[in-house]
Amino acid sequence: MDQKKINELLEQEGFIQWLFTSSPESPWNSWYKQNLENRQLADKLRTELKSFPLKGDDAERVNKFLLRNRIAETIARSTSANRRGYLLKVTKWAAAAALVGIISVSALILNGRKLIVTPNGAQQAIVLPDGSKVKLNSGSSLAYNSFLWKLTPSVTLEGEGYFYGNHQKGFGVKTSIGKVKVLGTQFNVYSRNTKYRVECYQGKIQVGTSLLNKHEILEVGECFSADMQSKKVYRELLYSQITEPRWTSGEFYFEKARFEDVLNELERQFNIKFARKDSFKNLSYTGYFNTKDVNVALKMTLSPLGIGYKTSRNEIILTEKE
Amino acid sequence: MQVSFLWERFKKGDAAAFETLYNNHIDELLRYGSRFTRDTTLIEDCIHDLFVRLYERRDSLNSPNSLKAYLLTSLRREILLNIKRQNVPQKDISQSEFILDIDIEQAIIRSELKQEQLEQVQQVLDSLSDRQREVIFLSFYNGLSNDEISQILGINNQSVRNLLSQGLKRMRSETQLPSLLLITTLSKFI
């Protein structure tokens, strides 16, 4: 080998680089292709440079076989540990997902809660999730859950409400006193204080209260009432000519009713307040009023019992007539 | 082609492919590792960790352009982190030392060079920066391209070229040895 020539080559820029890297953009590529001598020279240099034995490194001092076994052992151990870790991870995620699910479902349930309150002096019509309707009398409230409706269609009522319209499947009406199961119909539910009354105007309904051992089925024109105070239940017939509760058209009929109930109804319908109610509450009243005019209504209810009244700022004071 | 095939087999969990990977690269890794520290146990641990991690993460690993560069990069990071953890006052990775010592006793026996000449070479090597020594080592010993070296060191291609040419120039001018002799000497006795 021509030492001088080699030295000259090595001094030249990029040659050593090219020897090692064979980078294709190097000008030495064309030099390499020029003749056989160049090719042999370069190849020899390359092999010499690349195939030397190393001294002073740790390659010989390390037992490569033992190291390999150690790696294999760790991998075997970690893969079984990983599988356990993987399961744990999966359970963790599953738990998280379940939690998110529970939270969002409860959010939907909470969000689905609806409460409708009709104040005194007003009436209100509501459409239920199944498309049927409720008319709420004054001073009543209705609660239901639109999200859970499909699962358990039911409403909670306090006060008085008339249910009508087309029920698709029927639903339940709960009050603090009793429970009505609708089988596709029109009916009125009254539940105030200790009094409970259900009137059936169309179809069939099933009524239950704590005073009954088993459910009562009401047919068209039938009425069921219960008094929690006297613990008595009644079944009566409605006047055959009415097809919906009279209160929905602003008319109130009473038959041997406790006068307290009449006064309460007046308060609700006209959003008024009576003073000295207690002196008259146990009177019995049979009669009628409508919601067209408060003065007419007061006259129609109070005068037959010989009760007078004075209007003060925000109260109507009841007085015994002289 | 063969390398990428091996790599794909390894990624699928082929134990034989993994073993081949190990056998193909273990010498190079050990040699490179010992440039950073004389602590053989540390190097072994690092190589152990490197391969274990490689195996565990094989699913998410991309096919590297240069497997060799990839492995050397990983080992380098591993070793330097460990050295750092051993709190040898190492300011940061770019300042880690890189040992490139000629075994002069062996070199005298094997080469035609005289002891003074070898010592001169060693002196020049010592006068270079750690990074220059590392570039020279990776280029000359491992035959890596500038791109691969720049990947390993985390510096750009031009910086590699500068380090290399500066290092070589200095060695040539200061030792006055012919370059080939210099290179072959280094190659044989480092």
For residue A56, list chain B residues with Cβ-Cβ distance below 8 A: 34, 101-103, 106, 189-190
Q: Which secondary structure element, helix H or strand E, spans residue A117, and what is its range?
A: strand A113-118
- Say what the ipTM of the complex is: 0.74
For residue B100, list chain A residues with Cβ-Cβ distance below 8 A: none
Contact of B184 with chain A, judged by CB distance below 8 Å, is answered with yes
Tell me which of A236 and B114 has the higher pLDDT.
Answer: A236
| Pairing outcome for strands A140-145 and A113-118 | antiparallel
Q: What CA–CA distance (Å, rounded) separates B45 from B26?
A: 13
Contact of A107 with chain B, judged by CB distance below 8 Å, is answered with no
The full length of chain A comes to 322
Give, rounded to a whole angstrom, the gap between the first and last alpha carbons of chain A: 148
Per-residue pLDDT for B180 more than 70?
A: no
CB contact under 8 A, A7 and B178: yes
User: What pLDDT shows up at residue A143?
Assistant: 92
Q: If DSSP codes are grouped into helix, strand and coil, which group holds residue A33?
A: helix
Q: For each of chain A's 322 residues, which pLDDT tens digit applies?
A: 466 676 666 656 666 656 655 666 777 888 888 888 888 877 776 665 444 444 455 455 678 888 888 888 888 887 666 666 667 778 888 888 999 999 988 888 888 888 888 888 888 888 888 888 889 999 899 999 888 888 888 899 999 999 887 766 778 889 888 888 876 678 899 998 888 999 888 888 888 888 888 888 888 888 898 888 888 888 888 877 777 888 888 888 888 888 888 899 999 888 888 888 888 888 888 888 988 888 888 888 888 888 888 888 888 888 887 5
Cβ A146 vs Cβ A112: under 8 Å: yes
How is chain A split among helix, strand and coil, in percent rounded to 5? 35, 30, 30
For residue A71, list chain B residues with Cβ-Cβ distance below 8 A: 22, 47-48, 51-52, 55
User: What pLDDT shows up at residue B60?
Assistant: 80
Contact of B30 with chain A, judged by CB distance below 8 Å, is answered with yes
In one-letter notation, the amino acid at residue A298 is L
Contact of B34 with chain A, judged by CB distance below 8 Å, is answered with yes
How many Cβ atoms are within 10 Å of A6's Cβ, its own excluded? Answer: 18
Contact of B58 with chain A, judged by CB distance below 8 Å, is answered with no
Give the dihedral of Cα atoms A34, A36, A40, A46; nearest 10 deg.
20
Tell me what the pLDDT averaged over chain B comes to: 77
User: What pLDDT shows up at residue B184?
Assistant: 58
Contact of A61 with chain B, judged by CB distance below 8 Å, is answered with yes
Cβ B25 vs Cβ B7: under 8 Å: no
How is chain B split among helix, strand and coil, in percent rounded to 5? 75, 0, 25
Contact of A25 with chain B, judged by CB distance below 8 Å, is answered with no
Contact of B109 with chain A, judged by CB distance below 8 Å, is answered with no
Q: If DSSP codes are grouped into helix, strand and coil, which group holds residue B135?
A: helix
Q: If DSSP codes are grouped into helix, strand and coil, which group holds residue B44?
A: helix
The residue-averaged pLDDT of B119-123 equals: 71
For residue A54, list chain B residues with Cβ-Cβ distance below 8 A: 31, 141, 190
Per-residue confidence band for B1, with pLDDT thresholds at 50, 70 and 90: very low
Nearest chain B residue to A79, by CA: B56
User: What pLDDT shows up at residue A157?
Assistant: 92
CA distances from A70 to A133, A197, B44 (A): 77, 85, 10
CB contact under 8 A, A21 and B146: yes
Crossing angle, helix B179-189 and helix B157-175, to 10 degrees? 110
Q: What CA–CA distance (Å, rounded) separates B41 from A63?
A: 11
User: What pLDDT shows up at residue A58?
Assistant: 46
How many Cβ atoms are within 10 Å of A19's Cβ, its own excluded? Answer: 24
Q: Is the dihedral of CA A80, A82, A85, A86 positive or negative?
A: negative
Cβ A135 vs Cβ A124: under 8 Å: yes
Q: What CA–CA distance (Å, rounded) separates B128 from B100?
A: 10
Q: pTM for the full model? A: 0.45
User: What pLDDT shows up at residue A307?
Assistant: 87
Q: Where are the alpha helices (DSSP H) in A152-293?
A: 259-270
Q: Which secondary structure element, helix H or strand E, spans residue B93, and what is its range?
A: none
User: What pLDDT shows up at residue A40?
Assistant: 81
Burial class (CB in 10 A: 0-12, 13-18, 19+), A219: exposed
The structure tokens listed for A88 are 């744990």
CB contact under 8 A, A78 and B52: yes
User: What pLDDT shows up at residue B111?
Assistant: 59
The residue-averaged pLDDT of B136-160 equals: 81
CB contact under 8 A, B140 and A49: yes
User: What pLDDT shows up at residue A182?
Assistant: 79
